[in-house]
Amino acid sequence: MKNLQKLAAASTLALSTAFSVALTPAAHAQSNMDHGKMDAMKPAQSTAAPEMTDGEVRKIDMEAGKLTLKHGDIKNLDMPGMTMVFVVKDKAMLDKLKTGDKVKFKAINDAGKFTVTEIQPAP
């Protein structure tokens, strides 16, 4: 019985060593992966520059630097058309706008805040 236990222990040790050696190169490669290259693996949509989106100014809050827009689909944010409030990158962008203006704009998700980065009158 003791010989059987020794044989089982030796077999387990041999298998675990072989298994460990087989995984070591892959585990080593994964731990040394260049995480800077991870951006290259992201879908093109998340790394693509925002496109201009059609919108209409519904409300302007100069003091808070916010803008309510009724807008079409915002492709880079995978967002359907709706009316919502945006933060503006620069409050000076609001100086040239008035309620009812038709505009084209670019927006991004900046740490959870939907931010208008560029806006211009629609042709």
Same domain, 112 and 60: yes
Q: What is the pLDDT of residues 26-37, one digit of tens each?
A: 444 444 444 444
Same domain, 22 and 53: no
Residue 49 is predicted with a pLDDT of: 72
Task: Look over the chain and give the mean of its residue pLDDT values, rounded to a whole number.
Answer: 77
Residue 104 within any structural domain of the chain:
yes
* Number of domain units in the chain: 2
**Global pTM exceeds 0.85:** no
Residue range of the domain that includes 29: 2-33
Residue 50 is predicted with a pLDDT of: 81
Largest pairwise CA distance in the chain: 91
User: Exposed/middle/buried for 86, CB within 10 Å: 0-12, 13-18, 19+?
Assistant: buried
Same domain, 13 and 55: no
Give the CA angle between residues 51, 114, 88 to the nearest 5°.
Answer: 85
- Greater confidence, 49 or 33? 49
Same domain, 65 and 12: no
Same domain, 110 and 61: yes
